Structure 1
Amino acid sequence: MRIIGKQEVEDMAVGAAVLASGGGGDPYIGKLMALQAIEEYGPFEMVTLDELDDDAWVCASHMLGAPTVLVEKVPNGLEGIGAVDALEARFGKKFDAIMPLEAGGLNSLLPFQVAAAKGVPIVDADGMGRAFPELRHVTWTLFDVPACPAAVCDEKGDTVVIEAVDNEWAERLARNVAITTGGSVFMADYAMTGAQAKKTSIPGTSTYCEVVGRTIREAHEAGGDPIPVILDLLKGKELFRGKLDDVSRRTVGGFVRGYAHFEGIEGYHGRTCEIEFQNEHLIARSDGEVLCSAPDLIAVLDAETALPITTEALKYGARGVLVGIPVHEHWRTPRGLEIAGPRYFGYDIDYVPVEER
């Protein structure tokens, strides 16, 4: 077990936003919620999958909806707790630990606040190793772990318990609840035993987020350029450097959809690059050439600070370094590509690992 304090939270917030591929919610909001929880409950307790008892009862905690909504619809801190309370009432027993659904600015840190309020540890693992748009985009789906029963809670305290036939329908029903309640909700789902979590989850995600954030911070403190260091750590690839000259965002069907267009700078003068997103970045193209596509990660890092820029924070004139990052091997299997590859998102191309492009 590790004790997680304020500095670890600060580093995790940055690292999680890098691994979120542009999505996962506002890292600033997630960080504030986690820091406030430390003030209220003390430092967090985090356990590894190996430290989790096989018969432990765990669930995922997260936000679902359009990240741009959170700019105005700021969480009050009770939604995630209310969702877990509702799911515990549905099962008639308490959870022994809480686990993040994904690596995302908000969704990596929200579960820490929920776990602290419930008086249980957080598990250093998740179901994505990155952020994806849909509820079903988790390794738990690949191993046939059901999302339901699932509980949804909004900022007013309204709760809905979803009993869906499969994870695809769980996504559809939960997304419609989010749309009805203003574009975002908080959920508790994917209840499973410790033994199931060990078999089906991606281990060490929270620690990995912390390492990424700490690496950026320490590079700044040493007066160096963090981007080469981050590329080496993540085994990533620089895709493009450019100035954002056009961005379009719209909230449709409970997602933020749109594109960002970059005009090349430095060694990329005379070229352009466009990324398309559905909450998360899905594909990057330069002058017709695909540079990277889902399920690999596409991160936009500030050219000066190397801090990640989320889809809702993309603004005209921003200078960014686009980075492609290899995804966890689970997502490169035939089943993983079936539900999270380029064709799932409507792109008629074969998946090519970013390191092979």
Structure 2
Amino acid sequence: MGRILTEKDVEAAVRGGSVYAAGGGGWADHGRMLGRAAVSIGKPELVSVDELKPDDWIATAAAIGAPAGLTAWEMQGVDYVKAVQLLERELGQNVSGLIVGQNGRSSTLNAWLPSAILGTKVVDAVGDIRAHPTGDMGSIGLAGSPEPMIQTAVGGNRADNRYIELVVKGATAKVSPILRTASDMSGGFIASCRNPVRASYVKTHAALGGISMALALGEAIIAAEKKGSSAVIDAICRTTHGSILVEGVIASMDVVYTKEAFDIGTVTIGEGAGACKLHVMNEYMAVGDADGKRLATFPDVITTLDPNGEPLSVGQLKVGMKVLVLHVPKTRIPLSASVLDPSVYPPVEKAMGIDLAGYALDGAKEI
């Protein structure tokens, strides 16, 4: 049976989503705003994909951009609802449920407000358990599809006359960059609804149970807090089946915001032979040691925590901070079709200047 999401689930979703945000994934306060608005205005319902009919329409509710505090973005809850309505109008049919492209500080809750207002179910499936930089990485195997898809975007800084409503149709890989451009033009962060597919497709291509995983992690973190910071860190490692890969002080940061609405660069932790480098494209995509040996690579979960176990986004990091790096290997999480799709990696590898696919797809067939 479906689970009605309530006030206490809001904080759990934000806290668990913040770990799976992998250094990106939006703003925690934006997630709380979305969740609280949803549970106060209606009864958002979390359901498994099996609770929908195989031919029901499911679309992806997403927020696009890189709001690391470097831009004047504005996104209101109503923007998420309007994005769904625009997609339904173009589709000519109602959408029964919404998934999210990724977990994150706010993205875990992207489908809650449309569920409360429009009655679309919050489907317990995600395009990727962790956050990632491109829409294709959460597109559940549609990135290389020649099939025309509908994508909508709504939002923007109203005071600067940057508010945009956009509906585009075309192959996912061709139209996704249009939404990212719209995000940049709107102020750096925009609501989206995109890629309507049948429930049967979601069942075989998405990472199932992704919302429940974030909720369970958040619940474990909240329960551990009264026992202190080490208990929180232990709870995160235990619940995610991960471990602390590195612990040290941030020695240098070289991250820049690009016109494509990405934060790209590196963060170095420690010095000398014990140093390691986090490779960033909105989120942490890889970790290498001082010799350049790869220690972790997307779709592994890679997250920075402060000494109290609080997840830190890339935008919160500063030189001199002590951080811990959580690592959850890809073998410990459900993997969607999109993170196993070789076509999603070249644009990210080109932007970052590092190999990802060689590591990400290695052993994928055995998982």
TM-score bracket, shorter-length normalisation = 0.7 to 0.9
Q: Does residue 261 in structure 1 map to residue 264 in structure 2?
A: no
Whether the 8 Å CA contact 2:87–2:193 is kept in 1: the answer is yes
When normalised by structure 1's length, the TM-score is: 0.88
- Counterpart of 2:187, as a letter, is G
- Which stretches of structure 1, 4 residues or more, deviate above 6 A after TM superposition? 331-334
Structure 1 counterpart of 2:359, one-letter code: Y
Say which is worse superposed, 80-89 or 138-147, in terms of deviation. Answer: 138-147
Q: 2:329 aligns with which of 326, 331, 349?
A: 326
Please name the residue that 2:94 is paired with.
Answer: 94
**Which deviates further from its counterpart, 235-244 or 255-264?**
255-264
Which residue of the partner structure matches residue 26 of structure 2?
25
Counterparts in 2 of 1:347 and 1:331: CA distance versus 1, 3 Å = farther
User: Could you tell me how far apart the structure 1 residues matched to 2:176 and 2:359 are?
Assistant: 24
Q: Is the contact between residue 104 and residue 131 of structure 2 (CA under 8 Å) also seen in structure 1?
A: yes
Give 1:138's aligned residue. Answer: 138
Matches of 1:147 and 1:189 in 2, distance apart? 11
Question: Is 2:163 the partner of 1:160?
Answer: no
Query: Which of 257, 281, 289 is the equivalent residue of 1:286?
Result: 289
Q: Secondary structure at the match of 1:22?
A: coil
**1:254, distance to aligned residue in structure 2 (A):** 1.1
Matched length? 347
Q: CA deviation at 1:270?
A: 6.8
Match of 1:240 among 235, 246, 253: 246
1:192-226 CA distance string (max 9 Å, x none): 12222212211111110011111122122244522
- More deviation, 245-254/196-205: 245-254
1:351 corresponds in structure 2 to 359
Unaligned runs of 5+ in 2: none
Bigger Cα displacement from structure 2, 272-281 vs 329-338: 329-338
Alpha carbons 1:70, 1:184 under 8 Å: kept: no
Identity over aligned pairs, percent: 22
Partner-residue secondary structure (3-state), 1:123: strand
Structure 1 residue 124, shift from structure 2 partner: 1.0
Provide the rounded CA distance (Å) in 1 between the counterparts of 2:52 and 2:235: 33
Partner of 1:7: 8
Which of 306, 310, 314 is the matching residue for 1:311?
A: 314
Label 1:8 to 1:73 Cα distance change in 2 as closer, same or farther (>3 A).
same
Conserved 8 A contact 2:127-2:338: no
Over residues 242-275 of structure 1, what are the superposed CA-to-partner deviations in whole Å (9 max), with x where a residue is unaligned? 12233233210211112222227xxxx9722221
274 and 78 in structure 1: CA distance in 2 versus 1, 3 angstrom threshold? same
What TM-score, normalized to structure 2?
Answer: 0.86
1:37 alignment partner, SS class: helix
Q: Tell me, which stretches of 5 or more residues in structure 1 are unaligned? A: none
Deviation at 1:102, TM superposition (A): 0.9
Q: Judge conservation of contact 2:11–2:32 (CA < 8 Å) in 1.
A: yes
Q: Is residue 76 of structure 1 aligned with residue 84 of structure 2?
A: no
RMSD: 2.7
